[in-house]
Amino acid sequence: MIIAQQKPIQEIEAMVAGYQKILVVGCGTCVTVCMAGGEKEVGIMASCLRMSLRLAGKTPEIIEECIQRQCEWEFIDELKDKVDRVEAIISSACGVGVQALVERFSNKPIYPALNTSFMGLPQEPGFWLETCRGCGNCGLGKFGGICPIARCSKTLLNGPCGGSQNGKCEIDKEMNCGWQLIYQRLKALGQLNQIEEIVLPKDWSTDRDKGQRRIVREDVYSSSYNENQTLGNNTK
Protein backbone atom coordinates (compact mmCIF):
# COMPACT_ATOMS: atom_id res chain seq x y z
CA MET A 1 0.00 0.00 0.00
CA ILE A 2 1.04 3.62 -0.50
CA ILE A 3 2.09 5.35 2.72
CA ALA A 4 1.68 9.11 3.16
CA GLN A 5 1.81 11.75 5.90
CA GLN A 6 -0.22 14.92 6.26
CA LYS A 7 1.56 18.18 5.61
CA PRO A 8 1.69 20.76 8.43
CA ILE A 9 -1.62 22.63 8.63
CA GLN A 10 0.28 25.92 8.21
CA GLU A 11 1.56 24.76 4.81
CA ILE A 12 -1.93 23.70 3.70
CA GLU A 13 -3.38 26.99 4.92
CA ALA A 14 -0.82 28.98 2.94
CA MET A 15 -1.73 27.13 -0.27
CA VAL A 16 -5.44 27.97 -0.07
CA ALA A 17 -5.37 31.29 1.80
CA GLY A 18 -6.70 33.22 -1.19
CA TYR A 19 -9.84 31.13 -1.75
CA GLN A 20 -13.30 31.45 -0.22
CA LYS A 21 -14.83 28.13 -1.32
CA ILE A 22 -12.67 25.05 -0.85
CA LEU A 23 -13.33 21.33 -1.29
CA VAL A 24 -11.29 18.91 0.83
CA VAL A 25 -11.32 15.42 -0.69
CA GLY A 26 -10.17 12.28 1.10
CA CYS A 27 -9.41 8.83 -0.29
CA GLY A 28 -10.87 5.64 1.17
CA THR A 29 -8.04 3.21 0.46
CA CYS A 30 -4.30 3.46 1.16
CA VAL A 31 -4.22 6.79 2.96
CA THR A 32 -7.22 5.76 5.05
CA VAL A 33 -5.37 2.67 6.26
CA CYS A 34 -2.25 4.67 7.13
CA MET A 35 -4.46 7.24 8.89
CA ALA A 36 -3.35 10.18 6.76
CA GLY A 37 -6.19 11.12 4.40
CA GLY A 38 -9.38 9.17 5.08
CA GLU A 39 -12.78 10.50 6.10
CA LYS A 40 -11.73 11.01 9.72
CA GLU A 41 -8.53 12.83 8.80
CA VAL A 42 -10.37 15.02 6.28
CA GLY A 43 -12.80 16.07 9.00
CA ILE A 44 -10.04 16.93 11.45
CA MET A 45 -7.99 18.80 8.85
CA ALA A 46 -11.01 20.78 7.60
CA SER A 47 -11.87 21.81 11.18
CA CYS A 48 -8.29 22.89 11.88
CA LEU A 49 -8.21 24.79 8.60
CA ARG A 50 -11.44 26.63 9.42
CA MET A 51 -10.16 27.64 12.83
CA SER A 52 -6.78 28.70 11.54
CA LEU A 53 -8.23 30.80 8.72
CA ARG A 54 -10.79 32.40 11.03
CA LEU A 55 -8.03 33.42 13.40
CA ALA A 56 -6.52 35.16 10.40
CA GLY A 57 -9.80 37.03 9.85
CA LYS A 58 -11.07 34.87 7.01
CA THR A 59 -14.35 32.92 6.82
CA PRO A 60 -14.09 30.47 3.93
CA GLU A 61 -16.66 27.82 3.07
CA ILE A 62 -14.95 24.43 3.36
CA ILE A 63 -16.73 21.36 2.02
CA GLU A 64 -15.65 17.87 3.07
CA GLU A 65 -15.88 14.72 0.94
CA CYS A 66 -14.24 11.30 0.86
CA ILE A 67 -14.46 8.98 -2.13
CA GLN A 68 -13.47 5.34 -2.36
CA ARG A 69 -10.43 5.90 -4.55
CA GLN A 70 -8.93 9.06 -6.02
CA CYS A 71 -7.09 7.06 -8.66
CA GLU A 72 -10.14 5.80 -10.60
CA TRP A 73 -12.39 7.90 -12.81
CA GLU A 74 -15.66 6.27 -11.74
CA PHE A 75 -15.16 7.52 -8.18
CA ILE A 76 -13.62 10.85 -9.15
CA ASP A 77 -16.61 11.68 -11.35
CA GLU A 78 -18.82 11.58 -8.25
CA LEU A 79 -17.20 14.87 -7.22
CA LYS A 80 -18.28 16.91 -10.22
CA ASP A 81 -21.23 18.72 -8.60
CA LYS A 82 -19.17 19.70 -5.56
CA VAL A 83 -16.19 20.73 -7.67
CA ASP A 84 -18.41 23.07 -9.69
CA ARG A 85 -19.30 24.92 -6.46
CA VAL A 86 -15.77 25.66 -5.25
CA GLU A 87 -12.73 27.70 -6.21
CA ALA A 88 -10.03 25.25 -5.16
CA ILE A 89 -9.53 21.63 -4.11
CA ILE A 90 -7.36 20.12 -1.40
CA SER A 91 -6.57 16.47 -2.10
CA SER A 92 -5.89 14.19 0.86
CA ALA A 93 -4.61 11.39 -1.37
CA CYS A 94 -1.25 10.20 -2.60
CA GLY A 95 0.43 12.03 -5.47
CA VAL A 96 -1.37 9.77 -7.94
CA GLY A 97 -4.75 10.89 -6.62
CA VAL A 98 -3.78 14.56 -6.79
CA GLN A 99 -2.75 14.23 -10.42
CA ALA A 100 -5.88 12.26 -11.28
CA LEU A 101 -7.99 15.15 -9.99
CA VAL A 102 -5.87 17.54 -12.05
CA GLU A 103 -6.62 15.55 -15.20
CA ARG A 104 -10.35 15.43 -14.52
CA PHE A 105 -10.83 18.98 -13.23
CA SER A 106 -8.24 20.93 -15.19
CA ASN A 107 -10.02 24.26 -14.63
CA LYS A 108 -9.56 24.12 -10.83
CA PRO A 109 -6.41 24.65 -8.75
CA ILE A 110 -5.68 21.46 -6.79
CA TYR A 111 -3.33 21.27 -3.82
CA PRO A 112 -1.83 18.27 -1.98
CA ALA A 113 -2.54 17.85 1.71
CA LEU A 114 -0.16 14.89 2.04
CA ASN A 115 3.44 13.99 1.41
CA THR A 116 3.59 10.63 -0.36
CA SER A 117 6.36 8.61 1.26
CA PHE A 118 6.68 5.00 0.06
CA MET A 119 5.05 1.65 -0.63
CA GLY A 120 4.99 -0.25 2.60
CA LEU A 121 3.58 -2.87 4.91
CA PRO A 122 1.75 -2.23 8.19
CA GLN A 123 3.81 -3.76 11.00
CA GLU A 124 1.47 -2.80 13.84
CA PRO A 125 -0.94 0.09 14.51
CA GLY A 126 0.84 3.35 13.67
CA PHE A 127 3.96 1.70 12.22
CA TRP A 128 4.58 1.17 8.49
CA LEU A 129 7.73 -0.17 6.86
CA GLU A 130 8.92 0.34 3.30
CA THR A 131 9.17 -3.05 1.62
CA CYS A 132 9.13 -2.31 -2.13
CA ARG A 133 10.88 0.27 -4.32
CA GLY A 134 8.73 -0.43 -7.39
CA CYS A 135 11.87 -0.87 -9.51
CA GLY A 136 9.99 -2.67 -12.29
CA ASN A 137 12.25 -5.74 -12.29
CA CYS A 138 11.30 -7.86 -9.29
CA GLY A 139 13.87 -10.35 -7.99
CA LEU A 140 12.11 -11.46 -4.81
CA GLY A 141 12.25 -15.09 -5.91
CA LYS A 142 16.04 -15.02 -5.56
CA PHE A 143 16.04 -13.54 -2.07
CA GLY A 144 13.47 -15.58 -0.21
CA GLY A 145 10.76 -12.99 -0.82
CA ILE A 146 12.64 -10.17 0.95
CA CYS A 147 13.71 -7.20 -1.17
CA PRO A 148 17.36 -6.12 -0.84
CA ILE A 149 16.64 -2.97 -2.85
CA ALA A 150 14.15 -1.61 -0.33
CA ARG A 151 15.38 -3.31 2.83
CA CYS A 152 19.16 -3.03 2.54
CA SER A 153 20.45 0.53 3.04
CA LYS A 154 23.10 -0.09 0.40
CA THR A 155 20.84 -2.06 -2.00
CA LEU A 156 23.41 -4.87 -2.08
CA LEU A 157 22.54 -7.89 -4.23
CA ASN A 158 25.29 -10.36 -3.32
CA GLY A 159 25.32 -10.59 0.44
CA PRO A 160 25.69 -8.25 3.41
CA CYS A 161 28.22 -5.42 3.72
CA GLY A 162 29.78 -6.78 6.92
CA GLY A 163 28.94 -3.74 9.00
CA SER A 164 25.75 -4.97 10.64
CA GLN A 165 25.72 -5.99 14.31
CA ASN A 166 23.23 -8.11 16.19
CA GLY A 167 21.01 -8.22 13.11
CA LYS A 168 20.78 -4.43 12.82
CA CYS A 169 21.88 -2.22 9.92
CA GLU A 170 25.06 -0.18 10.40
CA ILE A 171 23.41 2.80 8.70
CA ASP A 172 20.32 2.78 10.93
CA LYS A 173 20.57 0.89 14.22
CA GLU A 174 16.77 0.80 14.47
CA MET A 175 16.45 -1.09 11.17
CA ASN A 176 16.86 -4.82 10.71
CA CYS A 177 19.67 -5.81 8.38
CA GLY A 178 17.97 -6.78 5.13
CA TRP A 179 20.53 -9.46 4.38
CA GLN A 180 20.20 -10.97 7.84
CA LEU A 181 16.48 -11.35 7.10
CA ILE A 182 17.23 -12.86 3.69
CA TYR A 183 19.70 -15.33 5.20
CA GLN A 184 17.27 -16.43 7.91
CA ARG A 185 14.47 -16.82 5.40
CA LEU A 186 16.51 -18.87 2.94
CA LYS A 187 17.88 -21.02 5.78
CA ALA A 188 14.35 -21.75 7.00
CA LEU A 189 13.38 -22.75 3.46
CA GLY A 190 16.45 -24.94 2.99
CA GLN A 191 17.56 -22.71 0.09
CA LEU A 192 20.81 -21.23 1.37
CA ASN A 193 22.50 -22.40 -1.81
CA GLN A 194 20.83 -19.48 -3.58
CA ILE A 195 23.18 -17.08 -1.78
CA GLU A 196 26.08 -18.73 -3.60
CA GLU A 197 24.63 -17.73 -6.97
CA ILE A 198 26.20 -14.47 -8.16
CA VAL A 199 23.58 -11.89 -9.05
CA LEU A 200 24.62 -9.77 -12.01
CA PRO A 201 24.48 -5.95 -11.79
CA LYS A 202 20.86 -4.90 -11.73
CA ASP A 203 19.20 -3.59 -14.88
CA TRP A 204 17.84 -0.24 -13.72
CA SER A 205 16.26 0.61 -17.08
CA THR A 206 12.85 -0.31 -15.65
CA ASP A 207 13.28 2.04 -12.70
CA ARG A 208 13.36 5.85 -12.92
CA ASP A 209 15.89 6.63 -15.64
CA LYS A 210 13.46 7.15 -18.52
CA GLY A 211 10.86 9.49 -17.10
CA GLN A 212 7.21 8.56 -16.66
CA ARG A 213 6.62 4.82 -16.77
CA ARG A 214 3.50 3.15 -18.15
CA ILE A 215 2.12 -0.33 -18.58
CA VAL A 216 -0.30 -1.24 -21.37
CA ARG A 217 -2.31 -4.46 -21.31
CA GLU A 218 -3.12 -5.10 -24.97
CA ASP A 219 -5.92 -7.51 -24.03
CA VAL A 220 -7.86 -4.86 -22.12
CA TYR A 221 -6.55 -1.57 -23.52
CA SER A 222 -9.26 0.45 -25.27
CA SER A 223 -8.44 2.12 -28.56
CA SER A 224 -10.80 4.91 -27.52
CA TYR A 225 -8.32 6.03 -24.87
CA ASN A 226 -7.62 9.74 -25.09
CA GLU A 227 -4.38 9.83 -27.05
CA ASN A 228 -3.94 13.49 -26.14
CA GLN A 229 -3.03 12.58 -22.59
CA THR A 230 0.63 12.84 -21.74
CA LEU A 231 2.18 9.37 -21.64
CA GLY A 232 5.74 8.47 -20.80
CA ASN A 233 7.96 5.58 -21.78
CA ASN A 234 6.40 2.16 -22.31
CA THR A 235 7.46 -0.56 -19.88
CA LYS A 236 5.38 -3.36 -21.33
In a domain, 89, yes or no: yes
213, part of any domain: no
For residue 211, the model assigns a pLDDT of 66
Same domain, 99 and 155: no
pLDDT of residue 223: 55
For residue 106, the model assigns a pLDDT of: 92
Q: Is residue 218 part of a domain?
A: no
Better-scored residue on pLDDT, 227 or 196? 196
Lowest-pLDDT range, 49-53, 104-108, 214-218? 214-218
Conformational region of residue 233, where left means phi above 0, alpha means psi within -120 to 50, and beta covers everything else: beta
Of the pLDDT bands very low, low, confident and very high (cuts 50, 70, 90), residue 123 is: confident
Other residues' Cβ atoms within 10 Å of the Cβ of residue 135: 17
The percentage of the chain sitting over the pLDDT mark of 70, rounded to a whole number, equals 91
* Total count of domains within the chain: 2
Range from 28-42, 181-195, 199-213 carrying the lowest mean pLDDT: 199-213
Residues 113 and 138 in one domain: no
d(CA 125, CA 27): 19
Whether residue 114 is predicted with pLDDT greater than 90 in this model: the reply is yes
Q: Is the pLDDT of residue 166 over 70?
A: yes
pLDDT higher than threshold 60 for residue 154: yes
| Same domain, yes or no: 106 and 161 | no
At 88, is the pLDDT very low, low, confident or very high (cuts 50, 70, 90)?
very high
Give the pLDDT confidence score for residue 232 in this predicted structure.
40
Count of other CB atoms within 10 angstroms of residue 28: 17
CATH of the domain at 18: 3.40.50.2300
- Domain membership flag for residue 104: yes
Q: Are residues 92 and 176 in the same domain?
A: no
Using pLDDT thresholds of 50, 70 and 90, give the confidence band for residue 216: confident
- Residue with more model confidence, 38 or 212: 38
One domain for residues 150 and 112 = no
* Residue ranges making up the domain that contains 82: 2-118
- What confidence score (pLDDT) does residue 230 get? 43
Q: Is residue 13 part of a domain?
A: yes
Residue 224 has pLDDT above 70, yes or no: no
pLDDT of 209 higher than 80? no
